[in-house]
Amino acid sequence: MKKIAITGLGFITSIGNDKNQVLDSLINLKCGIGLHPEFTDEKCPVKCAGIIKDFSTQGIDPEDWTYPSKYAVKREVLRGFSPHVLYAYCSTMQAIEDANLSLEDVANDTSTGMYTASSGSTTFLYNHMQRMDKVGVMRCHPMGVVSSVVGTLSYNLVSSFKITGASCGFASACASSSHALGFACDEISMGRQKRMIIVGGEDGDYRTILPFAGMRALSHSKDPNTASRPFDKNRDGFVGTAGATTMIIEDEETALARGAKIYGYILSWGQASDGYNVAIPHPEGIGLINAINNAFESANIKADDVDYINAHATSTPIGDVAELKAIKKVFGENSKVAISSTKAITGHGLSLTGIMEASFCALAMKEGLSIGSANISDLDDEAKSLNIIQKTEKTDPKIMLSLSSGFGGANTCIVFGK
């Protein structure tokens, strides 16, 4: 089986638009959450979300958007984009450069593939359906479908970057981009591809985030600095966020042959399902327990080998407790493994979250850090016996886990090695 090296990262996130900004935010736990300019309706109790800086993507016409000039996108390419596709295009350009590759290196190369994850663009879909109803089916926007439906990220990026290897879009809610990363690892470990580009993105706007209010899943806090507080006893729901993250992985032989820098390795991954409820995790975290154990078996490691866990913990009362119970079951009631949730500063990226947090782990592993969990003033009783770290620490972790869970009880565990 091929060893899988992480060689490139790119970020457009609420805590930074490149890896240096993101690293600074992770070290100092700088919050990327703000009062969302679209959440102003007096009837809407939700006010906070992760905010992307230096991009203005309001409006249905991409030619009206503004974004950093270094990412100049050709008009014929841009016209098929929704906001998260633009974010992802920019994060992918970053990752290719960060991996010391050129656009020519990834284009028209059947050994380079791309897996993506997003929930599509609900705002674009809504507007295009309204247009069809008002002016008729023959006056639909010609790019309406490819700019809005769930596969839009894959359609646009695979064509823009001339990817001729494996490509696919994944849809398993908040586990989507972790599934994309896991299956991308399989492509490499089995020798089918030498390089994979994994991308996640979300619009993070009014129609992406606010439907969760009806599920009573969103925080009603009006204080952006403390609205997202995983593991805190007084948490009242998650805070949504926008953005995109790209990770490039390669088989070790390919990476070393071209002298690539290596952030770390992906040792294995595991997945399992709860089989319990369409929207609520199993109260004892059964699926997550099985996903972690499957990853351990594949990597031939045990719980005592793990130094740090980046938990899924979204800041919902039910979800955080179920995950904590799963962690206790695998690691023990009084485990000393360092645990945190970076969603305290980023917000919850939905289908983006898996690859974003996996990339945080890659950065932290390269820098020898265990990332802290912010905004905890009163630790949940379920967490008190565990090592929930509240500051970023220089611990030089050798093995890290990134956990993700999604609707329907989809669970993943990615294992990273120094």
Considering the candidates 36, 185, 348, 361, report the single residue annotated as catalytic: 348
The answer to whether 109 and 164 have CB atoms below 8 angstroms apart is yes
Q: In this structure, how many other beta carbons lie within 10 angstroms of the beta carbon of residue 252? A: 16
Considering the candidates 36, 282, 312, 361, report the single residue annotated as catalytic: 312
Q: For this structure, is 174 an active site residue?
A: yes
Considering the candidates 174, 185, 361, 413, report the single residue annotated as catalytic: 174
Using CA atoms, how far apart are residues 262 and 246, in angstroms rounded to an integer? 15
CA 394 and chain centroid, separation: 24
Q: For this structure, is 312 an active site residue?
A: yes
First to last CA, the chain: 18
Using CA atoms, how far apart are residues 351 and 120, in angstroms rounded to an integer? 10
Q: For this structure, is 36 an active site residue?
A: no
Active site residues: 174, 312, 348
